[in-house]
C-alpha cells in the first residue's frame, strides 16, 4: 500500500525521468523541498516495495510497476488540476488544493471526477451553464 508521500515521490521521479531522462537524489530533494537524506530513505522503501531500483551512487530507475504508478499519479494530478481549472479556481490555489485532494479521495470518486471532466470537455455548453449558475449563486 502506497502512502501519500510515496505517491508524491513516484510522481516526481516519473516526471523527472520524462523531462530529463534521469532522476537524482538532489533533483528529487529540491523538487519536493525535502532533505536529500529523506529522499534516500524513501528510495530505499520504494526499492523494497519494487517501485524503483535504487543503489547508492548508482542512480534511480523506475521498475515497470513504478512506471505504471508514476504515470497514474501524474495523470490523476493533471485530471484534478483540469477539473479545478474548469471550475475557475485560481492557479495559486489550484496546486495546493490538488495536493490536498489527490491523496484523500477514493478511487471511485476520482473515477467520477474524471467522468465529469470528460463530460464538460465534450459538452462545453453544460460547463458554461454551470459556471453561470455558480456565478449567480455566489453573488447572493
CATH number (domain holding residue 22): 1.10.10.10
User: Which pLDDT score, from 0 to 100, does residue 103 have?
Assistant: 84
For residues 56 and 21, membership in a common domain is answered with yes
For residues 50 and 93, membership in a common domain is answered with no
User: Which pLDDT score, from 0 to 100, does residue 63 have?
Assistant: 95
User: Which pLDDT score, from 0 to 100, does residue 140 have?
Assistant: 60
Q: Measure the CA–CA gap between 45 and 52, rounded to whole angstroms.
A: 9
User: Which domain range does residue 112 map to?
Assistant: 75-139
DSSP for 23-64, written as a single string: --HHHHHHHHT--HHHHHHHHHHHHHTTSEEEETTTEEEE-H
For residues 85 and 56, membership in a common domain is answered with no
Q: How many domains is the chain built from?
A: 2
pTM: 0.83
All residues at 6 or more sequence positions from 94 whose CB lies less than 8 Å from its CB, including other chains: 81, 84, 85
Q: Measure the CA–CA gap between 53 and 2, rounded to whole angstroms.
A: 16
Q: Measure the CA–CA gap between 16 and 50, rounded to whole angstroms.
A: 19
For residues 91 and 59, membership in a common domain is answered with no
Task: Please list the ranges in the chain whose pLDDT falls under 70.
Answer: 140
Amino acid at each position: 500500500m502506497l502512502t501519500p508521500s510515496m505517491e508524491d515521490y513516484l510522481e516526481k521521479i516519473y516526471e523527472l525521468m520524462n523531462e530529463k531522462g534521469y532522476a537524482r537524489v538532489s533533483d528529487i530533494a529540491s523538487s519536493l523541498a525535502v532533505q536529500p537524506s529523506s529522499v534516500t530513505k524513501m528510495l530505499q522503501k520504494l526499492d523494497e516495495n519494487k517501485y524503483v531500483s535504487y543503489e547508492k551512487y548508482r542512480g534511480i530507475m523506475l521498475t515497470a510497476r513504478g512506471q505504471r504508478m508514476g504515470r497514474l499519479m501524474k495523470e490523476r494530478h493533471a485530471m484534478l488540476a483540469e477539473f479545478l481549472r474548469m471550475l475557475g479556481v485560481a492557479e495559486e490555489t489550484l496546486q495546493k488544493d490538488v495536493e490536498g485532494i489527490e491523496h484523500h479521495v477514493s478511487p471511485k470518486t476520482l473515477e467520477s471526477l474524471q467522468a465529469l471532466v470528460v463530460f464538460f470537455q465534450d459538452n462545453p455548453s453544460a460547463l458554461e451553464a454551470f459556471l453561470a449558475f455558480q456565478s449567480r449563486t455566489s453573488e447572493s
